[in-house]
Chain A
Amino acid sequence: MSTIQTARGLEAGEGSLLLRPEDNVDPITFSVILNRFNTIAREMTLTLEHTSWTSILALARDFSCAIYDAGARQVCMMDALPIHTNSLHVILNSMVRAFEGKVYDGDVIVSNHPYSGNTHVGDFVTACPVFYRGEHLFWAVTKGHQLDCGAYEATSVAPSAKDVWQEALQIPPIKFYEKGEPRQDVINLYLANVRYRDMLYGDLMAQLGSIWNGRRRMLELVAEYGPDELMRYVEAILDYADRRTSEQLRSIPDGSYVGEAWIDSDGMGNTNLTVKATVNVKDDHVHVDFTGSSPQGKGGTNGTQGVMEASAGIPILCAIDPDIPHNDGCLRHISCEAPEGSIVKAKYPAATAMATLCPAAQEQEAVWKALAIAAPERTSAGYAGFHCVPSISGVDERGEEPAGWAAMFFNGGSGGGASMNADGWPLIMLSSGLGGLKILSTEMCELLYPFMLDYQEIEPDSMGHGRTMGGAGIRIRVRPYGTPMDCHVTGDGAANPPFGVFGGTPGIGGGNYRENLTTGHRDYCSSKGYMKIEPGEAWVGVSSGGGGFGDPLERPARKVCEHVRDGIIRLETARDVYGVVMEPHTFALDEKATQALRATLAAGTRELPIIQPTVPGAATWLRDNMREGDRYLLDPLP
């Protein structure tokens, strides 16, 4: 915390926000219990991170831990991925319904089922009830993205899966443990249907250890305060978040705000699909209506109820004070809908394997854009989607015996959007994660997997420009050793680059290709598809930086000089976009010339566009970078 707050609420006449006498809670105990829940959720997170066996959980941290009350209302989540935790209650509710009256102490319920409210099949949910003296009080829940889920191809986010039976083993809510006893036959059935079963067994244990640890700590907490007292405080904590969220949302003018975003392709060759969000703000409630979005896609690029509820909420939760505790008290102010059969909410048995990446990113983007009109200072420029994050796999022959390997490779990930007061961060990728995902160390990768990285560097001018700049994109090259490498590209946002706001420019969009290291020939691939990389070839990703925010002419000129000196933007960009003139070798600012150029550029303009681009398929990166003889592959299938 960087600022010191005083009792500002009171002075501003916002007495309604305070804990009120009628709540009958002791403000000190309130703070203590609130922090205890945070500590418990954090400990669940540590357990999962440190004990899991695959890099996607142990290094990339593609998982979340949260605490719910018996009625599946969120009590606490800390340090988790928004795409998971904003809608984890939806699948938990399905679990509650599936075992109504048959939830016992010592149970573990699991599911990955997209049509029961899960986000997508890759996300595996474990939940255990917390009973105190026979009374069911809480749920400890984790959701972890599995390296494999038994799809027809070796990826847990298959864009080309045609239906639920191709995308994964479907697991509706089912008990792995009952009354403390493992149902080993059921666990065996699960493990028999996934690749890399030993590693996934390790990950399952980690997800169980996490919820059991959560349960242990909650029982200590209940024992300390007694169930009645504790639950009274839980109610107060939810009310507190509720009141503060309410106050913040009321400051957004009532109205209907529309944002539109586009999906590069559905993975089956259909391009530039629309996601449209109408954000209805009334009083302290936000309702997001995705009516008007394209019909569902033919492959795995489709949305689920779980993803929609999470995505609608992400930009809204970013628009309220970040120190409001995130729980059901915030979430209850946001609702959403979409017509069944649309790309936002596919109809059974359509595949939805890609949902958390795409259309999740475009759903969020459409809401961010609507917010740009509703609450300009509280929105963000575009996040650069998930492209250049391939699922790669193959056979490792470096050891005594050949062994299968696979990884979701985050290291070339794209940049985050700029906001009113901050530049974007690198490697944020889409706003589904908002920076909760980590990258893998190059050396760990090269030790674990049979490939070598040739470079991983900032791509100059890849980000959107503005008063604040998007986080940088990355140029990265991966080269297999000896054995070929299967490469499933499972992203989006290359043809439709991250948007700029209020005069900020879009990121480049970027792209990826297979390069022949002898001839230099390149096969460019759309943001979804499959490429086999043979020895002597490499996969190259050039990810986009995030979108820019505000007028580039307002960025401090000295900073712009430093960016040129550092090779983050080019000299011409400084001149043409930022209106900054400098000595090209010493990078010394020419103040007079800059002032004059900025004045000319400002006079020549133009009202600053609220959003750019405003049309689908706006990226020019592919056109600018493809050379004579290179090939372009749209959604290539395995």
Chain B
Amino acid sequence: MQYVLGVDIGGTFTDFSLVDGSGHITLWKEATTPQSPALAVQRGLLALAEQQGMGLAEFLAGLDLFVHGQTIATNTVIQRNGPKAALLATQGFRDIIHFRDGYKPERYNIQLQPPDDFIPRYLRLPITERINYAGDVMVPLEEGSVRAAAQRMREAGVQSIAVAFLWSIMNAAHERRVKEILEQELPGVPVVLSSDVLPMIREWERTTCTVLSAYVLPGISRYMVELENFLRENGFRHPLLIMQLNGGTSTVNKVMQRPIYSLASGPAAAPVAGLHCTKRVGMNNVITIDMGGTSFDVSMVTDGTPTLTRDLRVHEMPVGVAAVNVHSIGASGGSIAWMDKGGALQVGPHSAGAEPGPACYGQGGTAPTCTDANVVLGYINPDYFLGGRREILPELSARAVDEHVAKPLGLSVPEAAHGIFRIINHNMVDAIRVVSIERGIDPRDYALVVGGGAGAIHAGMLGRTLGMKTAIIPRYSGVFCSFGMIVSDVRHDYMQAFATNTGRFDPTRANQVIADLERRAIDDMIEEGFPEGEVTLARYADAKYPAQIHELTIPVPAGRPLTAADGAEMAAAFHDLHERMFTYCVRESSVDLFHWRVIAHRRVRSPEATAFPPAVNPVSIALKGSRRVYFGDINDYRDTSIYDGEKLERGMIVTGPAVVEQTNTTIVVFAGQKLDVNEFGDFILKL
């Protein structure tokens, strides 16, 4: 029997999705072990093996694919517990990370302290050298300045080095030579070059990307190499794949060459997780939401392609590379409701977390949370929270809502709880708007796919507010991202700067640039063990009007050498895209092309899905009973049917108002909505 496995380390739980050859899915959750994350992974593997009635070695030997989303990189940056790192910069430009882009976020808050420099100034060392915009050497590399810097770093005990020179994207010779010198001077200390990690114009973004890379590299190498060794020693026969922030996977070796891709690794699997369950019912436009323990993450898929962004920031520092656009806000079951100084109700972004947790946990939390509101409203069954694994004290929820919200606002407790419900819904709707409406995309043409245990309580309201027609709660909703990982392709991004213009397009040079990038892509894939025939290559270019500043990325004809005529074709593609996004274009203008991009995919085979047989029973066999549940349409409680989700069969229809309960997920079906189960066992909520 062959299996594929996805493992995602989250803040509270480490999720496992195991799919066997016949499409049967096994889901597992293991409490995360923050001090030693590998421990939870190992425990989960043992538990899964045992469930399958196997020893670890037999289980691992039967695994075809092991994809892992880790939080080591992100946590290292957030907790700032990485190595002592240094930055080598072009002389005169070592303060780039201090100046940032000159922007201060909270305009009128004069009491806001500026962010700390990620690398202190004494470890930002100037190197005498300069290259210009055309790649010409204006000041030759002064090797003495590199050796002097090495001496300083040796004295300071530097453990990881970022090198980011101006215009290394046009000529990387200086950065490369510096790396050679440092390998002699400081053997064993990792050196990360900006021309390797992000050969893209704009030195601040490139520098921060390089700095973050150097900062996370030692930690993730240690973790990933150890885990890979553990797996190999215990019988796993394939390379371990790591989920990357570009939404694809990679072998451990390649991630260590481009460590920035190891950041924000888990949530990047969300779009593919969403697409997996919509594609099989014929939908290619998806908005995914994942309401977890501390955050609410939104991502988007248009025409079957996840939306990526180059504006992702960690610690206020741009990551620079294309990353899955996961918009995250502090909205979760633990989000705390509070009154601002003017007496307006707010919910989040602060979370009661796992400790003390919502008031109803009875662990000492007194602040009302979203979960408390959902308990008061009757959406959450106090006797069946997490399938009855956690005890809920509803009277504590009511007390917290009463004291902190109802009394100050002069409302009844249910009204106040419903207020919390509405505010957090608004915040989540706003987050969905940010990734959709604010980019001119109408969410009404999209399916809403719901991940995370709490999401399905709210999904009906969120989808309705946005005018969406369908929400899908997949069978793997509770371990959403770990499932997404096993259906994610291997992906590598390559890019090279080469300035040209569609009016005087030079196919010879462009073809050289593209051929270089594609050769590297194929070589990398082969080195990772994927045959050339399984690799697909897509080409893109960053384009803008000559006078314009911000670029749009357009597709470039693939699979053949470019000809002079392709200049006009790429120009037309840019005009069209510009018009679609910004309502106008300047068709008579030529178009500047700057970065050339190649994206290599090695497709994974989706696991088979079990087809569920049509229901033979009436829906009433899933009816558990009824309870009082509060609904906004009548501003009151009403007797509401409660269904057991595990007993709902394909084709059964639950008509709202109703609540459907499963071990890890509660679905609220609001008045006017209908829920049914499709052939794959996914819940389809008609809004």
Chain A contacts to B: CB under 8 angstroms: 1, 4-10, 14, 17-19, 21, 27-28, 30-32, 34-35, 39, 42-43, 46-47, 49-55, 58-59, 61, 79-80, 82, 198-199, 202, 205, 209, 212, 240, 243-244, 317-318, 321-324, 326, 380, 400, 410, 413, 416-417, 419-428, 434-439, 441-444, 446-448, 452-458, 471-472, 474, 562, 565-568
In the complex the two chains form, what is the Cα distance from A97 to B219 in whole Å?
65
Query: Is A324 a contact partner of B104 (Cβ separation < 8 A)?
Result: no
Query: Is A209 a contact partner of B99 (Cβ separation < 8 A)?
Result: no
Residues of A near B340 (CB, < 8 A) are: 5, 323
29 CB-based A-B contacts, threshold 8 Å: A7-B404, A8-B339, A10-B339, A17-B341, A19-B342, A27-B343, A35-B426, A43-B437, A50-B550, A50-B582, A240-B344, A318-B108, A322-B108, A322-B111, A419-B111, A422-B112, A423-B113, A426-B99, A427-B102, A435-B103, A438-B102, A443-B201, A444-B201, A447-B499, A455-B91, A456-B93, A458-B121, A566-B120, A566-B121
Q: Is B94 an interface residue (CB 8 A)?
A: yes
Residues of B near A472 (CB, < 8 A) are: 98
In the complex the two chains form, what is the Cα distance from A443 to B549 in whole Å?
12
Residue of A with least CB distance to B104: A435
Query: Is A322 a contact partner of B106 (Cβ separation < 8 A)?
Result: yes
Enumerate B46-84 residues with CB–CB distance to A below 8 Å: none
Residue of B with least CB distance to A368: B110
Q: In whole Å, how far is A17's beta carbon from the nearest beta carbon of chain B?
A: 5
Query: Is B342 a contact partner of A18 (Cβ separation < 8 A)?
Result: yes
In the complex the two chains form, what is the Cα distance from A450 to B116 in whole Å?
34
Residue of A with least CB distance to B366: A6
Residues of A near B336 (CB, < 8 A) are: 4
Query: Is A202 a contact partner of B548 (Cβ separation < 8 A)?
Result: yes
Residue of B with least CB distance to A14: B341
Query: Is A442 a contact partner of B93 (Cβ separation < 8 A)?
Result: yes
The segment out of B4-12, B13-21, B290-298, B345-353 that lies at the interface is B345-353
In the complex the two chains form, what is the Cα distance from A436 to B105 in whole Å?
8
Query: Is B92 a contact partner of A42 (Cβ separation < 8 A)?
Result: no
Query: Is B95 a contact partner of A456 (Cβ separation < 8 A)?
Result: yes
Q: Is B637 an interface residue (CB 8 A)?
A: no
Query: Is A426 a contact partner of B114 (Cβ separation < 8 A)?
Result: yes
Residues of B near A442 (CB, < 8 A) are: 93, 166, 203
Query: Is A43 a contact partner of B93 (Cβ separation < 8 A)?
Result: no
Residues of A near B101 (CB, < 8 A) are: 438-439
Q: In whole Å, how far is B26's beta carbon from the nearest beta carbon of chain A?
A: 40
Query: Is B110 a contact partner of A380 (Cβ separation < 8 A)?
Result: yes
Best-buried of A10, A47, A425 by chain B (most CB within 10 Å): A425
In the complex the two chains form, what is the Cα distance from A120 to B113 in whole Å?
32
Residues of A near B105 (CB, < 8 A) are: 435
Residues of A near B122 (CB, < 8 A) are: 565-567
Given known pairs A427-B99, A441-B203, the reply for A457 and B339 (CB within 8 Å) is: no
Query: Is B109 a contact partner of A322 (Cβ separation < 8 A)?
Result: yes
Query: Is A59 a contact partner of B104 (Cβ separation < 8 A)?
Result: no
In the complex the two chains form, what is the Cα distance from A70 to B10 in whole Å?
50
Residues of B near A424 (CB, < 8 A) are: 114
Residues of B near A323 (CB, < 8 A) are: 340-341
In the complex the two chains form, what is the Cα distance from A472 to B430 in whole Å?
37
Find A9's partner among B339, B350, B422 (CB 8 Å cutoff). Answer: B339
Q: Is B583 an interface residue (CB 8 A)?
A: yes
Number of A-B contacts (CB under 8 A): 223
Residues of B near A1 (CB, < 8 A) are: 349-350
Query: Is A51 a contact partner of B201 (Cβ separation < 8 A)?
Result: no
Q: Is B670 an interface residue (CB 8 A)?
A: no
Add 13 more A-B contacts to A7-B338, A18-B342 (CB < 8 A): A4-B367, A5-B346, A10-B408, A18-B343, A19-B343, A27-B419, A31-B344, A321-B341, A322-B109, A422-B112, A434-B108, A435-B107, A458-B98
In the complex the two chains form, what is the Cα distance from A35 to B430 in whole Å?
9
Query: Is B548 a contact partner of A58 (Cβ separation < 8 A)?
Result: yes
Query: Is A423 a contact partner of B114 (Cβ separation < 8 A)?
Result: yes
Query: Is B120 a contact partner of A562 (Cβ separation < 8 A)?
Result: yes
Query: Is A443 a contact partner of B343 (Cβ separation < 8 A)?
Result: no
Q: Is B312 an interface residue (CB 8 A)?
A: no
Query: Is A444 a contact partner of B104 (Cβ separation < 8 A)?
Result: no
Query: Is A428 a contact partner of B104 (Cβ separation < 8 A)?
Result: yes
Query: Is A7 a contact partner of B408 (Cβ separation < 8 A)?
Result: yes
Residue of A with least CB distance to B548: A53
Query: Is B344 a contact partner of A421 (Cβ separation < 8 A)?
Result: no
Residues of A near B114 (CB, < 8 A) are: 422-426, 471
Residues of A near B438 (CB, < 8 A) are: 39, 42-43, 46
The contact string, 1 if C-beta is below 8 Å from chain A, for chain B 505-520, is 0000000000000000
Q: In whole Å, how far is B93's beta carbon from the nearest beta carbon of chain A?
A: 6
Q: Is B444 an interface residue (CB 8 A)?
A: no
Residues of B near A19 (CB, < 8 A) are: 342-344, 409
Q: Is B204 an interface residue (CB 8 A)?
A: yes
Residue of A with least CB distance to B418: A28
The dominant DSSP class at the B interface is loop
Residues of B near A205 (CB, < 8 A) are: 584
Find B201's partner among A43, A422, A447 (CB 8 Å cutoff). Answer: A447
Residue of B with least CB distance to A61: B103
Q: In whole Å, how far is B395's beta carbon from the nearest beta carbon of chain A?
A: 21
In the complex the two chains form, what is the Cα distance from A143 to B293 in whole Å?
42
In the complex the two chains form, what is the Cα distance from A205 to B581 in whole Å?
13
Find B341's partner among A9, A32, A419, A427 (CB 8 Å cutoff). Answer: A9
Q: In whole Å, how far is B412's beta carbon from the nearest beta carbon of chain A?
A: 13
In the complex the two chains form, what is the Cα distance from A82 to B104 in whole Å?
13
Q: In whole Å, how far is A64's beta carbon from the nearest beta carbon of chain B?
A: 11
In the complex the two chains form, what is the Cα distance from A58 to B544 in whole Å?
13
Residues of A near B586 (CB, < 8 A) are: 202
Residues of B near A400 (CB, < 8 A) are: 504
Given known pairs A444-B549, A455-B91, A455-B93, the reply for A438 and B103 (CB within 8 Å) is: yes
Residues of B near A17 (CB, < 8 A) are: 341-343
Query: Is B113 a contact partner of A444 (Cβ separation < 8 A)?
Result: no
Query: Is B419 a contact partner of A444 (Cβ separation < 8 A)?
Result: no
Q: In whole Å, how far is B162's beta carbon from the nearest beta carbon of chain A?
A: 17
Query: Is B549 a contact partner of A421 (Cβ separation < 8 A)?
Result: no
Nearest 6 Cβ contacts at the A-B interface: A435-B104, A455-B92, A18-B343, A566-B121, A427-B102, A58-B549
Residues of A near B103 (CB, < 8 A) are: 61, 435-438
Residue of B with least CB distance to A324: B342
In the complex the two chains form, what is the Cα distance from A215 to B68 in whole Å?
46
Q: In whole Å, how far is A160's beta carbon from the nearest beta carbon of chain B?
A: 28
Residues of B near A244 (CB, < 8 A) are: 341-342
Query: Is A55 a contact partner of B92 (Cβ separation < 8 A)?
Result: no
Q: Is B547 an interface residue (CB 8 A)?
A: yes
The contact string, 1 if C-beta is below 8 Å from chain A, for chain B 409-428, is 11000000001001100100
Best-buried of B166, B437, B504, B547 by chain A (most CB within 10 Å): B547
Query: Is B342 a contact partner of A243 (Cβ separation < 8 A)?
Result: yes
Q: Is B230 an interface residue (CB 8 A)?
A: no
Given known pairs A53-B549, A441-B204, the reply for A209 and B104 (CB within 8 Å) is: no
Given known pairs A31-B344, A202-B545, the reply for A446 and B133 (CB within 8 Å) is: yes
Query: Is B104 a contact partner of A436 (Cβ separation < 8 A)?
Result: yes
In the complex the two chains form, what is the Cα distance from A424 to B93 in whole Å?
21
Residues of B near A54 (CB, < 8 A) are: 547, 549
Enumerate B543-593 residues with CB–CB distance to A below 8 Å: 545, 547-550, 582-584, 586
Query: Is A439 a contact partner of B99 (Cβ separation < 8 A)?
Result: yes
Find A28's partner among B91, B350, B419 (CB 8 Å cutoff). Answer: B419
In the complex the two chains form, what is the Cα distance from A47 to B114 in whole Å?
27
Residues of B near A209 (CB, < 8 A) are: 582-584
Q: Is B634 an interface residue (CB 8 A)?
A: no
Residues of A near B133 (CB, < 8 A) are: 443, 446-447
In the complex the two chains form, what is the Cα distance from A583 to B407 in whole Å?
60
Q: Is B132 an interface residue (CB 8 A)?
A: yes
In the complex the two chains form, what is the Cα distance from A453 to B106 in whole Å?
30
In the complex the two chains form, what is the Cα distance from A423 to B339 in whole Å?
29
Residues of B near A18 (CB, < 8 A) are: 342-343, 408
Q: In whole Å, how far is B479's beta carbon from the nearest beta carbon of chain A?
A: 31
Query: Is A567 a contact partner of B121 (Cβ separation < 8 A)?
Result: yes
Given known pairs A4-B336, A52-B549, A444-B202, the reply for A456 and B99 (CB within 8 Å) is: yes
